[in-house]
Chain A
């Protein structure tokens, strides 16, 4: 069975500090990987997607970056956090470009103070 693991579960960080969030998918080879952001009480906004190792496409600009160092790993990071980065970050995977089935991780709650 496929599993998707996100870390950390929650973070409280200061404005201006760096951030690194991670996601690992086990049990699937060459998945499409995604990062989503959800403001508190808001909808989900797709941030990045990756269809292969080393290749990441940005969907919206939020002063964040993403990398895919391994087939099963997706990293979201920034050098300097802003208050507006607070929210819920969800990693997801799918097997096709039409997203006929997308599986989400449990998410990371980020609070920037």
Chain B
């Protein structure tokens, strides 16, 4: 069965520090991988997505993620965080063969301290 694990429920970093949010997935086929961000009382916004090709994908606002197939991971990174990056981040996976299902991880609450 497909699943997504985000092992860190909460992460706190100082403004200007680098960031890595972890994501591991379990999927037997070829996955499509996503990172979404949710600001308080808002819907979700897509940060970046990976289908194939270059395993490092760039997203909005300086975020990037690296697909490591051997480790079943898709960690999110940012070189220097800003206080406005404080939000909940969700990793998600869907099937390349198509199943109309998008499976989300439990989310990581990021707090950026000024």
Measured CB to CB, the residues of A under 8 A from B are: 32, 34, 42-46, 49, 51, 57, 59, 90, 92, 96-107, 109
Q: In B28-60, which residues have CB < 8 Å from any A CB?
A: 32, 34, 41-46, 49, 51
Since A92-B44, A99-B102, A107-B41 are in contact, a sample of 11 more A-B pairs with Cβ atoms closer than 8 Å, ordered by chain A residue number, is: A45-B104, A90-B43, A90-B44, A92-B43, A97-B98, A98-B94, A100-B94, A104-B43, A104-B44, A107-B43, A109-B41
Of the listed residues B32, B43, B99, the one surrounded by the most CB atoms of chain A closer than 10 A to its CB is: B43
Decide: B100 and A99 in contact? CB cutoff 8 A. Answer: yes
Q: Is B96 an interface residue (CB 8 A)?
A: yes
Q: Give the shortest distance, in Å, between A47 (CB) and chain B (any CB).
A: 11
**B95 touching A98, Cβ below 8 Å:** yes
Number of A-B contacts (CB under 8 A): 62
Instruction: Report yes or no: A98 in contact with B41, Cβ–Cβ below 8 A.
Output: no
Which residue of A90, A98, A101, A102 contacts B96 across the interface (Cβ within 8 Å)?
A98
**What is the bound-complex CA distance between A105 and B42, given in angstroms?**
8
B1, chain A: closest CB distance, angstroms? 13
Q: Which of A44, A57, A96, A106 is the one whose CB lies under 8 Å from B104?
A: A44
15 A-B pairs whose Cβ atoms sit less than 8 Å apart in the complex: A43-B90, A43-B106, A59-B101, A97-B98, A97-B100, A98-B95, A99-B94, A99-B100, A100-B49, A100-B94, A101-B49, A102-B46, A102-B102, A104-B44, A106-B42
Q: Which residues of A contact B49 (CB under 8 A)?
A: 100-101
